[in-house]
Amino acid sequence: MGAPGFIKRLLFPPRCVICRKIIDRGCICPGCRDKLPLCGRVETKGEFFSKCCAPLYYTGGVREALLRYKFSGRRGYAPFFAQLMAKTVSENLSGEYDVAAWVPVSARRLHERGYDQAELLARTTAELLEVPVVRALKKIRHTKANSSIAGRSARSANILGAYEAVEPESFRGKRVLLIDDIFTTGATMAECARILLMAGAEDVVCCTAACAGEKNRKN
């Protein structure tokens, strides 16, 4: 390790994505890795999408890590979650997609954060899966965060008409792997899948970094 790398490591030592403890290497400490709330479930009750899987439950340290990733500029967390997502996709959706895409944030949200957290997950996951990634959707209307809204019907109404398909020739007739960070009620995934199908996608399957447990679905 050269002098610049040594100084950077000294000033900014690697920390566990989950508990923020300083670690020697990697993204997560052994203790947190052993206690990850593994999910791996496949949701098959989605409207407009065929299946949705997630490697983790959205709870405890995982929830806090994803909130830091979204709202505190921790874009370096993307590879950690993407590795878990790629493994889950390989185990549950193998052979069911041709291209990958993501649920985009609005231009206002992108300006505020400086990055699109779902795009980072999609591009990193797609690279690990060796599948092409396409910019299939655009959010054309800024909306209130669905996380602040209770009930699937209210969430669906909030995002209705908020997305449009872009570059449909890149996914027309193909099966799309749609990627986002969190699955709660499935309203956002359903709306985006609907737009993709209307624009010519053959099928849509989904993967998120984490999903809410049944008691936290806010149906």
What digits encode the pLDDT tens for the residues 179-199?
A: 999 999 889 999 999 999 999
pLDDT tens for residues 65-90? 999 999 999 999 999 999 999 999 99
- Residue 217 is which amino acid? R
Share in percent of the chain as helix, strand, coil (round to 5): 40, 20, 40
6 has a pLDDT exceeding 50: no
pLDDT at residue 147 in the model: 65
Q: What is the 3-state secondary structure (H, E, C) of 73-105?
A: CCHHHHHHHHHHHHHHHHHHCCCCCCEEEECCC
8 Å CB contact between 25 and 14: yes
The highest-level CATH class for domain 37-216 is alpha beta
pLDDT at residue 34 in the model: 96
Bridge-based pairing of strands 99-102 and 175-183 is parallel
